[in-house]
Amino acid sequence: MAPAELTGRSFKQIRTGLDQREFSVSELLGAYLHNIDQRESVVHVFLHIDRAGAEAAAKHLDQRLTLGEARPPLLGAVVAVKDNIAVRGLPMTAASRILEGYLPPYDATVVSRLRAAGALIIGKTNLDEFAMGSSTEHSSFGPTTNPHDPRRVPGGSSGGSAAAVAAGFCNLALGSDTGGSIRQPAAFCGVVGMRPTYGAVSRYGLIALASSMDVIGPLARSVADARTLLSVIGGYDRADSTSVPHFSWHRTASSVDLTKLRIGIPTEYGEGITDAEVKKIFNKSRALLERAGITVVEVGLPTTRYAVPAYYVITPAEASSNLARYDGIRFGPPGDHDFGHGRAYARLRGQRFGPEPKRRILLGTFTLSAGYAERYYHTAQRVRTLLRQDFMAAFAKADVLLTPATPTTAFLLGSIQDPVSMYRQDAFMVAVSLAGLPAVTVPGPAAGLPVGLQFIGQHKHDNHLLDVVQRCRVIFGGGE
Ligand code: GLN
C-alpha cells in the first residue's frame, strides 16, 4: 500500500484497517517514517525521533494482533508528544538549552495511559521555549514550518505537534495549552485541537508554564479521534492535586438535537477579526449552522478586552516562580561553578534561557514584587473573576459559544518581531484559559490556508462540547 494511502487516514479509519488485517502496525509506522524522511528537513517537527523504540513497539503490537489478544482503544495509534511532556528515557528539553541532555526517569501520567492503551510514541515535538509563544519561532533549536506553506509559521506553542498531524507524520499528537497553545496551532495547520476543562487531564510530568491554566490535550485529524485520545488520557490522577475527580469520559457521542441547540457568538470577538478571509469564513460558517436549523444568538463578553493584558500578567508571574527550579545546576549540562552559587545561577541562567523566558521571568518578578503586586497581579486576578462571570452569563443564553480561532491565518516566519503583537495573536484564546473552560478548534470551510473556528463549552461539559463540534464539523463539510 502506498504510504499516502495510510497516512491520510484518521485514526478511526486506521483502526478499522488494522482490525480487518488490511495492514500491520509496522507497515503503518513505516508509512509515517517514509513521510518523515521525505519532509522533516523542511517542516522540522521533531526534537527527537524514537525510530528504534517505535519500531520495536510496533512489532510487539503486531504480535498481539496475531495472537488475537484484547484490543485496547489506542492500539495502532502512532502518537507524537510535545517536548514538555515526560517520556521515560527520551530526551526532554522544552526547546530550551537549560534542559539540554535531560532524560526523564519517568513517564507523565498521560504517557503511561497512552502506552497502556496500545499507543506507540514516535517522538518529541518542537515548541516555543517552555511553551512561551504563538509561532514555535521561540524554540532554541530552530522553528517548525507550516505543512501548508513552508514560509509560514505553524502556530505555537504546540506547533510541532500540530504540524506532525497535518504533515502525516503520526495520526495523533499531544500538546499543552496554557493560553491557546493547542488550539491556535491546530487552527493554523488545519487540524482539530482541544483544550479540555482545567484539571480534566493530569499535569503530572508536564513542565509547568502557568500552573493555574496548563492542560494537556489532543491534536487529531477528526473530532472523533480527539475524543478517543481524550478518553484515554483524561480522568482523575492522584499524582496531580488539581486533577478533577469523577470526570466521566467514556460517554459515546449522544445525539444532539440541533433544533434545540443554541450557539452564542460573542459580539466582542467579531470586532477583533483583522483579516478579510477569517471574517468571510466565520460568517460563512455561521450561515451554514443557521441553515442547518441551529439557533445562533449574540452574547456579550464585555471583560474579554482585558483578557490579553490579564493573561500576560498572570502567566509571567506563575512562570517566574515555576522557572526558578532551572538553576543551571540541577538540570542541563555541567557548567563552570567556580564562582560561587549565586553567581553560578545568574551566569548559567543568563546563558541558557532564551529571550522570551527571560522577558517573562523579569516581568513576573516585577509584577509580584511588593508595591506592584496589588497594582498588577491582583488586578489581573480580579479580571479573571469578571471573565468567569461573563462566561456564566453567556451560557445562560447559549449552550456553546463560537468564535474565530485566530485574528489572521498563519503568518509569515519572522513577520512578527514585537512581543506585544505576538501576544495579541492570542486574543481569542486566553479568556477561555483564564476561565478554565474547555474549547475545541476545528478547520472552517476554507479553500486556501486553513481558517480555524473555536467552540467553547461549559465547565466539565467536554463530552457535550465534542458532540456539538462533531455535528457542526459535518455541517461545514469537514467529516466528523
Ligand atoms: N501564546 C501563549 C503564550 O505565549 C500561549 C502559550 C501556551 O498556551 N502554552 O503564553
- Per-residue pLDDT tens for 419-468? 999 999 999 999 999 999 999 999 999 999 999 999 999 999 999 999 99
Indicate the DSSP class of residue 78: E
Peptide bond into 157 cis (omega under 30): yes
Q: Given a cut of 70, is residue 338 above it in pLDDT?
A: no
Which atom of ligand 1 is nearest the CA belonging to 312? 10
Q: Tell me the C-alpha distance between 320 and 237, whole Å.
A: 26
Mean pLDDT, the chain, integer:
94
3 state SS of 404? strand
**Range with the lowest mean pLDDT among 28-37, 70-79, 92-101, 144-153?**
70-79
Q: Tell me the C-alpha distance between 158 and 397, whole Å.
A: 33
Please tell me the predicted confidence (pLDDT) of residue 128. Answer: 98
Q: Given a cut of 60, is residue 91 above it in pLDDT?
A: yes
Q: Tell me the C-alpha distance between 201 and 431, whole Å.
A: 19
pTM of the entire predicted model: 0.97
The set of catalytic residues is: 82, 157, 181
Q: What is the mean pLDDT of residues 261-290?
A: 93
State the pLDDT confidence band at 90, using cuts at 50, 70 and 90: very high
Indicate the DSSP class of residue 344: H
Q: Tell me the C-alpha distance between 396 and 403, whole Å.
A: 17
3 state SS of 81? strand
Please tell me the predicted confidence (pLDDT) of residue 253. Answer: 54
State the pLDDT confidence band at 67, using cuts at 50, 70 and 90: confident
Q: Given a cut of 60, is residue 36 above it in pLDDT?
A: yes
Q: How far, in Å, from the CA of 339 to the mean position of ligand 1?
A: 35
**Which residues have C-beta within 8 Å of that of residue 20, sequence separation ≥ 6?**
none
Q: How far, in Å, from the CA of 355 to the mean position of ligand 1?
A: 15
Give, for ligand 1, the residue of 82, 176, 178 to mutate: max count of ligand atoms closer than 8 Å to Cβ: 178
Which atom of ligand 1 is nearest the CA belonging to 426? 1
Q: What is the mean pLDDT of residues 350-360?
A: 97
Q: Tell me the C-alpha distance between 30 and 187, whole Å.
A: 28
Measured in Å, how far apart are the chain's first and last C-alpha atoms? 25
- 258 with 293: CB under 8 angstroms? yes
Q: What angle do CA 307, 310, 314 make, to 5 degrees?
A: 135
Alpha-helical regions (H) of 201-266: 223-233
State the pLDDT confidence band at 339, using cuts at 50, 70 and 90: low
State the pLDDT confidence band at 344, using cuts at 50, 70 and 90: confident
Assigned CATH class of 1-480: alpha beta
Q: How far, in Å, from the CA of 337 to the mean position of ligand 1?
A: 33
User: What length is written for the chain?
Assistant: 480
Tell me the backbone φ, ψ of residue 200, rounded to 5 degrees.
Answer: -75, -25
Q: Given a cut of 90, is residue 272 above it in pLDDT?
A: no
Q: Tell me the C-alpha distance between 126 and 46, whole Å.
A: 5
E runs forming strands in 202-273: 215-220, 262-266
> All 3 cell numbers of residue 445?
470551510
Beta strand pairing status for 452-456 and 215-220?
A: unpaired
Which atom of ligand 1 is nearest the CA belonging to 176? 9
Burial of 252 (0-12, 13-18, 19+ CB in 10 A): exposed
| Per-residue b or e along 254-278, where b marks 16 or more CB atoms closer than 10 Å to that residue's CB | eebebeebebbbbebbeebbebeeb
Beta strand pairing status for 172-177 and 215-220?
A: antiparallel
Q: How far, in Å, from the CA of 214 to the mean position of ligand 1?
A: 9
Please tell me the predicted confidence (pLDDT) of residue 337. Answer: 61
Please tell me the predicted confidence (pLDDT) of residue 345. Answer: 86
Tell me: the pLDDT tens digits for 94-139?
A: 999 999 999 999 999 999 999 999 999 999 999 999 999 999 999 9
> What residue owns the CA closest to ligand 1's atom 5?
179
Q: Given a cut of 70, is residue 249 above it in pLDDT?
A: no
> What residue owns the CA closest to ligand 1's atom 4?
133
Q: How far, in Å, from the CA of 133 to the mean position of ligand 1?
A: 5
Which atom of ligand 1 is nearest the CA belonging to 209? 9
Give, for ligand 1, the residue of 129, 134, 359, 421 to mutate: max count of ligand atoms closer than 8 Å to Cβ: 134
Beta strand pairing status for 120-125 and 192-195?
A: unpaired
Return the closest-CA partner of residue 218 out of 164, 150, 167.
164
E runs forming strands in 155-244: 172-177, 192-195, 215-220
State the pLDDT confidence band at 256, using cuts at 50, 70 and 90: confident
Please tell me the predicted confidence (pLDDT) of residue 270. Answer: 80
Which atom of ligand 1 is nearest the CA belonging to 315? 10
State the pLDDT confidence band at 254, using cuts at 50, 70 and 90: low
Q: Tell me the C-alpha distance between 318 and 310, whole Å.
A: 12
Ligand 1 contacts (CB < 6 A) are 131-134, 157, 176-181, 209, 315, 426
Return the closest-CA partner of residue 450 out of 175, 149, 40.
149
3 state SS of 235? coil
Q: Given a cut of 60, is residue 252 above it in pLDDT?
A: no
Rg (CA), the chain: 21
Q: How far, in Å, from the CA of 215 to the mean position of ligand 1?
A: 11
Give, for ligand 1, the residue of 158, 318, 426 to mutate: max count of ligand atoms closer than 8 Å to Cβ: 426
Q: Tell me the C-alpha distance between 478 and 433, whole Å.
A: 26
- 183 with 443: CB under 8 angstroms? no
- 130 with 357: CB under 8 angstroms? yes
Please tell me the predicted confidence (pLDDT) of residue 2. Answer: 84
